Amino acid sequence: MTTVRTLLERKGRAIFSVEPQAAVLDAIRLMAEHHVGALIVMRGAALEGIVSERDYARKVILRGRSSADTPVRDIMSSPVLTVSLETSVEQCMQLMTDRHVRHLPVIEGGRVVGMVSIGDLVKAVIAEQRQQIEQLESYIHS
Strand partners, 116: 104
| Confidence at residue 129, expressed as pLDDT on a 0 to 100 scale | 83
Cα 72 to Cα 70: distance, rounded to the nearest angstrom = 7
Per DSSP, 64 falls in state: T
Residue 1 has pLDDT above 80, yes or no: no
Residue 134 has pLDDT above 90, yes or no: no
| Confidence at residue 136, expressed as pLDDT on a 0 to 100 scale | 82
Q: What angle do CA 50, 90, 46 make, to 5 degrees?
A: 25
Q: What mean pLDDT is predicted for residues 73-81? A: 95
Q: What is the pTM of this model?
A: 0.87
Q: Which residues constitute the domain of residue 73? A: 4-141
What's the CATH code of the domain at 19?
3.10.580.10
Average per-residue pLDDT for the chain:
93
Cα 17 to Cα 11: distance, rounded to the nearest angstrom = 17
- Strands 111-117 and 38-43, by their bridges, are unpaired
Q: What angle do CA 2, 53, 33 make, to 5 degrees?
A: 85
Q: 40-49 pLDDT, tens per residue? A: 999 998 999 9
Q: 20-67 pLDDT, tens per residue? A: 999 999 999 999 999 999 999 999 989 999 999 999 999 998 899 999
> What is the percentage of the chain residues whose pLDDT exceeds 90?
79
| Confidence at residue 13, expressed as pLDDT on a 0 to 100 scale | 87
Cis (ω within 30 of 0) for the bond into 71? no
Question: Domain tally for the chain?
Answer: 1
Contacts of 68 (CB under 8 A, 6+ apart): 23, 24, 25
- Could you give phi then psi for residue 21, rounded to 5 degrees? -85, -5
